[in-house]
Each structure stands twice: as structure tokens, then as C-alpha cells.
Amino acid sequence: MNIATSEFKKTVDDLINNLNIDNFVDSEEHTLACKYKALPLGFDFLAYTFITSDGEVIWHDFQDDFGKSNDSQSLINALVYGKKRYPELEKFIPNRHESSKICPVCEGTGIWKNSKNVATGEPGNCIICATLGWVTDECYEQIISNHK
């Protein structure tokens, strides 16, 4: 699954190049976006998240640790998350591929029954499939192998 097409690269590069200081959540997000030359998607309780025009997902936590991922599922999840801030990213979220699997965590519902939305107390969104209800075959195999 190739998400990082030339159109994707151009879109992300254009978004990065058109950012100005008012587009950042805070000064740390701005600093990190410049450091990684990446598009800031936002942050959660654990880390800031970014994507590069090559499709790499980068996260930087609040203890100054960082990580990178090049797998399709991480990029899909980042795009689902990032489309709220950059609607231009939505067109790169792939349709479900025939080799994909129903998410074993939420069983295809997009809702993680064992988590809680801190604001509402309702079950939270599935962070494994980003509410899509499906995961890539590689992601599925990794989840299954980790539970054996």
C-alpha cells in the first residue's frame, strides 16, 4: 500500500511551507516541526505527532523522547487524526483494502470498549484502527503475534 505518492508529498510539502507561527498549538510544536521538517498534527496526553512528506510518522513525547514509524497503519492513523486539522489529508486515507482485517481490538466498531473518553465517560475511539474498524494485514499479524 503506497500512500506517500507524489501527490501526497506535494500536498504535505505545501502544507508545511505555508505554515506560519499562528498555525502552531504552542512554541514547542513549532520548534519540533522545524527540527523534523514535518507537518504538526497535534498532541495528545503522551506526545506531539508529525508526518513528513515521505510518509514517516514522528512522535515526540514530553520527556524529550522521540520515535519514528514508516508502516502503513501508523500513517493511516496519523492521516485520520490529522484530517481534523488539515482537511486536505483526508483524500489520502485509503479505502479498505481486500487484504485488510477487521480490527481485533474494537471488532470493527471503531470504539474501544475498554477505554473511556475522559470528557464524556463513554467508551473511547479505537486508537489501533483510528475508528476505521479495519487494520492493515501487517498490523493485524503483529497484534495477533503479540497476544500468543
| pTM, rounded to two decimals | 0.89
Lowest mean pLDDT among 16-20, 60-64, 88-92, 108-112: 60-64
Domain covering 6-92 in this structure, CATH number: 3.30.310
| DSSP per residue, the chain | -----HHHHHHHHHHHHT--GGGSSSHHHHHHHHHHT-EEEEE-SSEEEEE-TTS-EEEEETTS-EEEE--HHHHHHHHHHHTTT-GGGGGGSPPPPTT-EE-TTTTTSSEEEEEE-TTT-SEEEPTTTTTSSEE-HHHHHHHHHHT-
pLDDT of residue 89: 97
Start-end of CATH 3.30.310 domains in the chain: 6-92
Q: What is the pLDDT of residues 91-102, one digit of tens each?
A: 999 999 999 999
How does pLDDT run across 21-30, given as a tens digit for each residue?
A: 998 989 999 9
Mean pLDDT of the chain: 92
